Amino acid sequence: MTDLVLSWRLKACKHWRWVPGMLAWCEDDTVTHRVTRVSQSGYPFGCLPDEGVRVWELSADSLPDLNDPATLGCLLELVRQAWDDPDITPRRYAGLRPNSWIVHHGSRCAVGDSEREALVAALEAAP
């Protein structure tokens, strides 16, 4: 599954929210911005990663960059909060498909072809 599709799936989750530290890809100017803060209404404010000074409100169409390690860490924390389980950890799992990933919580699990896909699936499945 493409990262673009995963990003749109992620933003559609009821537990989705922007978190400072995430990298946002802004389609309108085709660059990424590091989220520095989030407004009360949930809109992200960010800056260019190499500038870090000028901060502005990002487009509502901004998508999380799931190739960014900090964004994946923030996504993992969102999954842990949504499931109220601080021990959730994605793992490689060869039982279903070679090189697949699994996020396990009790008797429920989410599976994906990549770590980021499994995390998105876990957030989608959260109660």
- Residue 61 CB partners (closer than 8 Å, separation 6+): 26, 27, 28
Between 47 and 116, where is the model more confident?
A: 116
Please determine, for residue 27, whether its predicted confidence score (pLDDT) is greater than 80.
no
Q: Are 53 and 36 in contact (CB under 8 A)?
A: no
DSSP character at residue 113: S
- Give the up-direction half-sphere exposure of residue 35: CA atoms within 13 A in the CB hemisphere: 27
Residue type, 98: P
Between 113 and 56, where is the model more confident?
A: 113
Q: Are 77 and 89 in contact (CB under 8 A)?
A: no
pLDDT digits (tens, 9 = 90+) for 38-48: 888 888 888 77
Query: In whole angstroms, what is the distance from residue 10 CA to residue 96 CA?
Result: 23
Share of the chain above pLDDT 70, in %: 89
Which pLDDT score is estimated for 79? Answer: 98
pLDDT digits (tens, 9 = 90+) for 77-105: 999 999 999 999 999 987 767 779 999 88
Query: Which tokens belong to 120?
Result: 């998105």
Between 58 and 110, where is the model more confident?
A: 110
Q: Give all strands of the β-sheet with 23-26 in edge-to-edge order.
A: 56-57, 44-47, 31-38, 23-26, 63-64
Q: What is the mean pLDDT of residues 45-71?
A: 80
CA 64-83-101 angle, 5° bins:
60
Q: What is the pTM of this model?
A: 0.88
